[in-house]
Amino acid sequence: MAEFVQLRKELCLTEYEQMKKLQIFTDDEIRKIKKTRENYEYKIERHVKDIKDYCEFIKYERNVLSLVCERRRGGKRVREKKALERIVAGKIRGLYLKVLARFPKELRLWDSYIKFCQMYHFTYELSEVLERMLKYHSDKPEVWLKAVMLEYSDIGNLVKAKEYLITGLKHHPTDIQLYKAFIQIELSEIQASDDNEKITAVEEKEIETAVGCCQSIYRNAKSKINDVQFYLEMLDVTLNFKFARNLSKEIISDLKDKFSDNSKTWNYFAQAELKGVSVYTLDESDTDDVRSVKLNIKKCVEIYEKALENVKTTEMCSLYIETMLNLNSDMTSEANFKRKCLGNAFKMGHETDLMSPEHYSTYIKLILEGNSTKSDLVEEIFEKSLKLYKESSELWLIRLSYTIKNYDELTVESIFQSAITALNEDKELPLWEAMFNYHAVQLNNENSLDAFFQKAINHKNSIISSHFKPNYIEWLCLTKNIQIARQTYKKLTLNSNPCLELHRKMAQIETAQLTVNKAAGRECYEYAVQFYGRTNVEIWLEYIAFERDYGDAKLTGNIHERARKVLKSDELVSEFIERHNLLISGVLTLAGEIKNENH
């Protein structure tokens, strides 16, 4: 091992001399580079190879290279400085080759090396890298696609790119992206010829032949792939080339025949209309008239309306409404027309029973923004939407908020009861919170709020009861006194389901008093660790912090020992010890957050 390291050190002597001669690095920096490299050399020469060592070495060398590039700018002897840059880059190249020979299955290493070659223009190296990468990763279509695009775009080898496409499709005969790349490359090559002002008869024949080749590729692909996304991806490519119009027409015709019941098909047609392209009628017409924004929107709406006649689904309706909402986010042109189209989309969704609960929520909010008073239309929409989506928490919340604003207490309570009857237990909480705010703020009646709290804390749904117990204790302390709060706390602790936040809230109330009752505060934590001490590290730390800050610091050691015995796993004990050390050193706050030393 040592002799290999020594040999590589000797090979670097010229490099270090250049670093010094060209004043790229100081003597101290060069010594550090030598030492760091030597350490990494020993690591990668160990009997058991670790990919991490290679990656760290490469990262270090790339940082050195970045410094060389940065410091060589300006000044004299530019050619010599560039030569030094090439030496360091060559060293990195050698490291990549070593680690790839050792760990060829690591695709991320190949990707990293390819990016390195691109960055430092090792174009001559790329082809060889791609060949080797494909030997180990031919099972991945995305690797074939990467090789194709690099050969075509970066290296400029069309023949090799096509070779990879053909071989890649033999391995992955149904991969959409490979077919898309094939068509894209073929048509792009034709485009180069078609861009000439005058096309000879021979060139025209060549273009016709090449388009025919693309048609053959497409037909071969569609015999193997029955996925709407394939047709849409192909159309994305062909529509960019006017001379491929016949191929585009064929794809559109296939889409209509095979996927007229698919929402993606119609959405594609409609979105194209917004861009001024009548894809839906392209196979029937050859016109390319430039249209106004208003006409584009009108054509788009016509497609969506036609779509809903053929595809009666919530997904189709949602795509229509979402497009109209997006149009209304830009009101710089045709604002009134866009608003009208959005209203019609909502109306159509409502009338066909195809609108999603999310879009119903948006629809209602928009109506209420325009008219805050009670309205027969709003009531009718609420009735229908909640009949369709009775388990939508958001719709019920909007319904309840509207009722609170416009109706009496009896009606509010009726809607609330209907909501919690219809909803699953895990979706009720937002409705309860709305009712809490209603009783606390709008009614501003102490008896009414107390009755609400009693209903909430005694609810069979633990999500509701646990949420409101801490609030109730705090409210009692604020509106009554600490003694009543303590009595109620103990009653809730002994006679209802455990609630960790209840104990925390009571402890917080105790420590907020002018004179802290140590015994009462300690009792909160004793209850908390009794119920939650086996699994909760945080509560033990809070108990220790309480004794340290408000109680008896001598008891913290005993609590520490209890925690280690009670916590149910070694992992929890280790976490507790680690966080306890941070707590006593002042690095950890009560909330478990690391303190900022700058404050």
Q: Report how many domains make up the chain.
A: 3
CB 142: neighbour CB atoms within 10 A?
14
pLDDT for the residue numbered 595: 43
Report, as an integer, the average pLDDT of 404-430.
96
Q: Are 391 and 426 in contact (CB under 8 A)?
A: no
Predicted confidence band of residue 459 (pLDDT cuts 50, 70, 90): very high
Q: Are residues 47 and 92 in the same domain?
A: yes
Which residues, other chains included, contact 37 with Cβ-Cβ below 8 Å and sequence gap of 6+?
9, 12, 60
Distance between CA atoms of 414 and 83, rounded to whole angstroms? Answer: 83
Q: Which of 506, 526, 546 is the last residue of a domain?
A: 526
Q: Are residues 11 and 31 in the same domain?
A: yes
pLDDT of 414 higher than 80: yes
Q: Is 502 exposed, middle or buried (0-12, 13-18, 19+ CB in 10 A)?
A: buried
Range in 439-448, 503-512, 523-532 the model is least confident about: 439-448
Q: Are residues 544 and 519 in the same domain?
A: no
pLDDT for the residue numbered 20: 79
Distance between CA atoms of 247 and 243, rounded to whole angstroms? Answer: 9
For residue 522, give the H/E element and its range. helix 518-532
pLDDT of 9 higher than 90: no
pLDDT of 8 higher than 70: no
Q: Bridge-partner residues for 588, per DSSP? A: 594
Q: Are 169 and 179 in contact (CB under 8 A)?
A: yes
pLDDT of 282 higher than 50: yes
Q: Are residues 538 and 595 in the same domain?
A: yes
Residue range(s) defining the domain that contains residue 62: 1-103
Q: Are residues 484 and 538 in the same domain?
A: no
Q: Is 329 exposed, middle or buried (0-12, 13-18, 19+ CB in 10 A)?
A: exposed
Each residue of 573-597: pLDDT tens digit?
Answer: 999 999 999 988 877 666 534 344 4
pLDDT of 471 higher than 50: yes
Report, as an integer, the average pLDDT of 2-27.
68
Q: Are residues 493 and 566 in the same domain?
A: no
Each residue of 30-67: pLDDT tens digit?
Answer: 889 888 988 888 888 888 889 999 999 999 999 999 88
Tell me the percentage of the chain whose pLDDT exceeds 70.
91
Which residues, other chains included, contact 409 with Cβ-Cβ below 8 Å and sequence gap of 6+?
443
Tell me the percentage of the chain whose pLDDT exceeds 90.
74
Q: Which of 72, 103, 134 is the last residue of a domain?
A: 103
Q: Are residues 92 and 11 in the same domain?
A: yes
pLDDT for the residue numbered 198: 59
Residue 360 covered by a domain: no
SS3 of residue 594 by DSSP: strand
Residue 367 covered by a domain: no
Q: Which of 82, 103, 124 is the last residue of a domain?
A: 103
pLDDT for the residue numbered 266: 98
For residues 86-118, one letter each, b for 16 or more C-beta atoms within 10 angstroms of the residue's C-beta and e for the rest, the string is ebbbebbbebbeebbeebeebeebbebbbebbe
- DSSP code at position 155: I
Residue 238 covered by a domain: no
Token pair in block for residue 82:
């560039």
Predicted confidence band of residue 549 (pLDDT cuts 50, 70, 90): very high
Report, as an integer, the average pLDDT of 220-236.
97
SS3 of residue 588 by DSSP: strand
Q: Are residues 488 and 581 in the same domain?
A: no
